[in-house]
Structure 1
Amino acid sequence: MTRSSFFSVKPRLWQAAAGCALLTLALSSCSTAQRQADRLTTGSIPSVNLAKPVESMTAPELAAAEKTYGAAYDRNPKDRNTGLSYASILRMNGKNTQALAVMQQVAIAHPTDRDVLAAYGKAQAAAGQLEQALATINRAQTPDRPDWRLYSAEGAVLDQLGRSEEARDKYRLALDGQPNEPSVMSNLGMSYVLSGDLKTAEKYLRNAAELPSADSRVRQNLALVVGLQGRFAEAETIARRELTETQAEANVTYLRAMLSQQNAWAKLADKKPQATN
């Protein structure tokens, strides 16, 4: 089953905004929803040296990749590309503690590599070490050569810490460096879900979804926000696009279960929108 779904939403965001404590940052099980939760930022630092993006791998493909890269890592735990790829695969398999341990070793061997530090910060965030993740990402960022991906990753961590206004500032800095980047616009939209401003969230997500470079994860986030506003039929239509019938049914079934919980979306609808900066 593909990992491209609306379940890239941050777990703590769901808990705070939707009242649905259905996901955990630990991602301990192998459900589609939890594996997608690692896509905390849809524009996160990409894995390297993989023939296929981990987000689009099936469960058997992920298992095979974990075995292959695990063996390569055992042979040379200091290899940069192997470590980055192996940690990414481990996170997608819900093995966040192990992924963090791998990235710790890679970071020791490559202490000034920005991509390594960024991936290390992501591993820390996935393992629940949010303040440490923020410090690592900040260490990776350089004022003279700012990286929009790092700004986006920083924003995602700040959102998890409940510092949504600061997070949105980081997303806007990311958009300054990479205008109309759909992944960042999606993150910005989902940040507004955290404060219950679903209309603003939908605006950003619709704009992101209309961009030619937008991938399925952006459109699935849009489906989620539409569903939270009670427009379930429209949400299901969006959620079914681009996916196989089996994949779509799994996503829609989960969406229905989440949105059918007592007052889950109604509580959001009752909140006053936050002003857009």
Structure 2
Amino acid sequence: MPRYDSVTRLGLAALVCAALSACATSRTAEEQELATAMEARATIVPAGQAERQAIRTQDLLTQAAFWAEQHDLNPGDREAAIEFVRILRALGNEQRASDVARQSMALYPDDADLLYLYGLSLTTSGRGGTAIEPLSRARAARPGDWRIINALGVAYEVAGLSEEARNRFREALAIAPGEAAILSNLALSYAMGGQAEQAEIMLREAIARPGAGAQVRQNLALVIALQGRFDEAERLARTDVSVETAEANMAYVRSMLTTQRRWDAIRGDGAR
């Protein structure tokens, strides 16, 4: 399978630029730059399916460059838009991800994948209230997808609507019983409501499920720490993070619990 090579494609644009500069002395610099960009774009053809499949095995930055080019070449390319948004989110660029998703939704207003990714980006950026509408539309378009319903629950929680959030988590669990990610989010909702003991029970159930990862363990460590069992929480946290990070996290929880607004501080964090 061919490997995407950014040097090949971007180098082509540079060569075109060099060729044009030799014969465009009568143009302004701005006109020449525009002509160069248009000429370079015309020489690039969309990647075939074999190349698109091969790129998914490359590192994130290489994938980002590839899908950015494909999306720029044809903004109506649904696959390129979705992959570009996913990679942007993986790189932590939620603002750019939400921008690309929103622009693509102008062409595909009812696309469940774009609505879902857009809602995720908004929620991760702390805009849970804004994320409810696109995620609700994604849920309507694909009602049996527990991931969309789970994400909608998180959006409600970030927006401060805990009861509605728990209803959505329970709805997701009815589709995917015992799914660790859903149990973990439901547990955190209880924790932010001041029910740390109930949250711990649910997180211990979640951590025993197949597919439970580092985030579930870190959530359990947080809930244990909120009950004052810092040594136990730190030992669990060290499974996935450095000693220094685990100690810093426990120090933060200790300082938070010394205030009068212990649960308000947790609720205001909104982290997932």
Q: Give the TM-score normalised by structure 1.
A: 0.67
Classify the secondary structure of the residue corresponding to 2:232.
Answer: helix
Kindly indicate whether residue 254 of structure 2 is the aligned counterpart of residue 255 of structure 1.
Answer: no
Percent of residue pairs identical: 34
- 8 Å CA contact retained: 1:87, 1:99: yes
Structure 1 residue 143: deviation in Å?
A: 8.1
Distance change (3 Å), C-alpha of 1:97 and 1:195: same
Cα distance change of structure 1 residues 86 and 148 upon mapping to structure 2, 3 Å threshold:
same
Q: Which amino acid aligns with 1:167?
A: A
| Kept in 1: contact 2:64–2:84 (CA 8 A) | yes
1:117-174 CA distances to partner (integer Å, 9 max, x unpaired)?
1112222333444333111111112388432222111110110111101110110000
In structure 2, the partner of 1:152 is 150
Equivalent residues of 2:112, 2:142 under 8 A apart: no
Q: Gapped runs of 5+ residues in structure 1?
A: 1-47, 271-277
Note the alpha carbon deviations across 1:172-214, whole angstroms, 9 max, x for none.
Answer: 0000011111100000001112111111111111100011221
Structure 1 residues 264 and 90 mapped into 2: Cα distance closer, same or farther (>3 Å)?
Answer: farther
- Choose which of 112, 120, 123 in structure 2 pairs with 1:114: 112
Distance 1:74 1:194, change over 3 A: same
TM-score (norm 2): 0.68
* Residue 81 of structure 2, aligned match among 83, 89, 93: 83
Matches within 5 A, 1:92-103: 92-103=90-101
Distance 1:250 1:68 in 2: 37
2:235 corresponds to? 237
Q: Offset of 1:258 from its aligned partner?
A: 1.6
1:167 to 149, 165, 168: 165
Match of 1:124 in 2: 122
Distance 2:170 2:146 in 1: 9
Cα deviations by residue, 1:19-45 (Å, 9 ceiling, x for unpaired): xxxxxxxxxxxxxxxxxxxxxxxxxxx
Query: 1:106 offset after TM fit, Å?
Result: 2.2
Aligned residue type for 1:192: Y
Which one has more relative contact order, counting CA pairs under 8 Å at least 6 apart? 1
The one-letter code of the counterpart of 1:73 is: H
Name the Cα RMSD after superposition. 2.9
Q: Which moved more, 1:160-169 or 1:249-258?
A: 249-258
Amino acid at match of 1:98: R
Is 1:135 matched with 2:129?
Answer: no
2:184 to 169, 183, 186: 186
Q: Deviations over 1:56-104 (max 9, x none)?
A: x9xxx54454334333332333333332232233234443221111111
- Classify 1:230/1:68 alpha carbon distance in 2 versus 1 (closer, same or farther; 3 Å): farther
What residue number does 1:15 align with?
none
The Cα shift of 1:250 comes to 5.2
Task: Name which one, 1 or 2, has greater alpha-carbon Rg.
Answer: 2
Is residue 197 of structure 1 aligned with residue 182 of structure 2? no
CA contact (8 A) 1:137 1:154 kept: yes
Question: 5+ unaligned residues in a row in structure 2: which ranges?
Answer: 1-51, 265-272
Corresponding residue SS for 1:83: helix
* Count of aligned residue pairs for this structure pair: 212
SS state of the match for residue 238, structure 1?
helix
CA contact (8 A) 1:107 1:120 kept: no
Distance across 2 between alignment mates of 1:76 and 1:251: 43
Residues 83 and 182 (structure 1), Cα distance of their counterparts in 2 relative to 1, 3 Å cut: same
The structure with more helix, counted as a fraction of residues:
2
